[in-house]
Amino acid sequence: QVSDNPSPPGHIRFTWQQGTLLFTDLAGFTPLLEANAAQGRRGAAHLLKVLNHYFSEMIEIISKSGGDLLEFTGDAMLVQFLADAQRSDVAQAVRAGLRMQRAMEHFSNIEAANGQYQLGMRVGVHSGRFLTADIGTPIRMAHVLLGKTVQQAKQAEGSGKVGRVCLSKVESDRLGEPFRYEPTDLSYMLVNDDFSADQLGEYDITLSRRRQSGLVLLDRSAEGLLLEINEAVKRVEVLAGYVPSPILRLLVESASQRRIPPNFPESIVVFVNLLGLPESVDAASQEELDSLVRSFSRAFSSINAAVSSRGGILQKVTYQLVGSDILVYFGVLTSRTDDALRAADTAIAIREIVNQLPTPLINDKPINVACRIGITRGAVFAAEIGEPRGRREFNILGDPVNTAARLMTRAAPQQILMTEEFYEAIAPQFSCEALGKVFLKGKAAPVGIYSLQKRAEE
């Protein structure tokens, strides 16, 4: 969507869209990652091959099903099916999800150096109205989705089961035949895949959108080639702001090889959950909506500046059951001995930025804007994942990313939680409070956590 109709650098815009969102989440990836991490660069190459095979198959299915892949979120995906006159988008999304689940059979027996592993996937579907917005500054832009529909689609994925497609009961009642369902609880239903291969098919033909083609060099004269190059540069200049500057430099430096070597660097991962603004858009008037989006843009731009000035990378804004998530990391492309201290400083600066945001009003009532932050450290898988000759993205994955996200969701508003490993890296320069040990999802043993207060000298 961004490349088809790019926003001028620094220009804030937003619009309501109607359609269906499909969220996926990969299960079983962490054990596979850990098994390959022990093999160093050879393991990184093997893991990337598996991931790219997975994403290539899923992207092909999404394309054939009439969907639009909006983004990768780690090993997950967000797909949009725009509404048409017949409102067939929900059925399209469900059929796409069923095809994707069938394709997961190809990942049921993955060979690794120390054994065999299996990947599974959850799929959640929900439809409705959602806000798409381009926010930021000429230096850094972001394309985000806001509103309850986004959160409910994410909740459908979280309420589902591996190997199944889950949607809200409201959607299943409206969709009806030819699908059959079984309940997960009072609010969500699992779709039964009792279709033959011919009944489900491979394609959904849609005329609701047409992708722009790439450059076609019809005039091969020097003047014609120069004109095409200038047009390409103009397009790239507009789109470059949507990519973090360090990653953009890496892409340029790696252009001749057409690949970025995967690796397992030690990293500091900071996850920020921004509360208040994203959930308020559905109740806002047009004038209030403009103020909300500009406030969100100001928060994103200020946080990105705080991260960049301290040597970190703000990867993107993603989606959570409450609010919007911002993924930040240190030590991936450039490593410094004081990355942990920089990350702690950044987290405190982000909390202060959110504290100082003007309080927006919805129907004359103030909106409470806050943030929750989780921090950890450890080896992550850093690679350019996706379709090797098509849609792909440089990103980080792994247990530190998951742990930071779980600490974030456990934190109270304006609280910064961190693991014991990260605490040991910043003490005694920062004032911290020990909160004991807690169980986190995916961890066999309880994890010691701390609350980050401030720099010790303050």
Per residue in 80-128, pLDDT (tens digit) is: 999 977 778 999 999 999 999 999 999 999 998 889 999 999 999 999 9
Closest CA to 98 of 110, 90, 108, 87: 90
pLDDT tens-digit profile of 337-363? Answer: 999 999 999 999 999 999 999 988 898
Please tell me the predicted confidence (pLDDT) of residue 319: 82
Share of the chain above pLDDT 90, in %: 71
Query: Is the pLDDT confidence value at 208 over 70?
Result: no
Predicted structure pTM score: 0.92
DSSP 8-state symbol, 106 = G
Please tell me the predicted confidence (pLDDT) of residue 426: 97
Chain centroid, CA 140 distance in Å: 17
- Alpha-carbon span 16 to 112, nearest angstrom: 46
Please tell me the predicted confidence (pLDDT) of residue 6: 82
- Alpha-carbon span 268 to 102, nearest angstrom: 36
The sign of the dihedral angle between the CA atoms of 39, 338, 243, 326 is positive
Band of pLDDT at residue 210, cut at 50, 70 and 90 = very low
Chain centroid, CA 125 distance in Å: 16
Tell me the CA distances in angstroms from 301 to 37, 241, 338, one per residue in order: 34, 12, 24
Q: What is the signed CA dihedral for 26, 32, 38, 44, rounded to 10 degrees? A: -60
- Alpha-carbon span 410 to 100, nearest angstrom: 32
Band of pLDDT at residue 216, cut at 50, 70 and 90 = low
The sign of the dihedral angle between the CA atoms of 324, 330, 331, 334 is positive
Please tell me the predicted confidence (pLDDT) of residue 388: 83
> 407: Cβ–Cβ under 8 A, 6 or more apart, which residues?
271, 374, 375, 376, 417, 418, 419, 440, 449
- Alpha-carbon span 189 to 238, nearest angstrom: 42
Query: Is the pLDDT confidence value at 211 over 70?
Result: no
- Alpha-carbon span 148 to 124, nearest angstrom: 14
Query: Is the pLDDT confidence value at 214 over 70?
Result: no
164 or 322, higher pLDDT: 164
**Token pair belonging to 403:** 């742990």
> 411: Cβ–Cβ under 8 A, 6 or more apart, which residues?
273, 372, 373, 374, 417
Query: Is the pLDDT confidence value at 272 over 90?
Result: yes
Residue whose tokens read 């500057």 = 245
- Contact 112/89 with Cβ under 8 angstroms? no
Tell me the CA distances in angstroms from 361 to 16, 99, 183, 358, one per residue in order: 20, 44, 39, 10
Task: Quickly list DSSP for 306-358.
Answer: HHHHTT-EEEEEEE-SSSEEEEEEESSSS--TTHHHHHHHHHHHHHHHHHTS-
Tell me the CA distances in angstroms from 253 to 257, 263, 329, one per residue in order: 9, 17, 21
Q: Average per-residue pLDDT in the chain?
A: 91
Please tell me the predicted confidence (pLDDT) of residue 213: 47
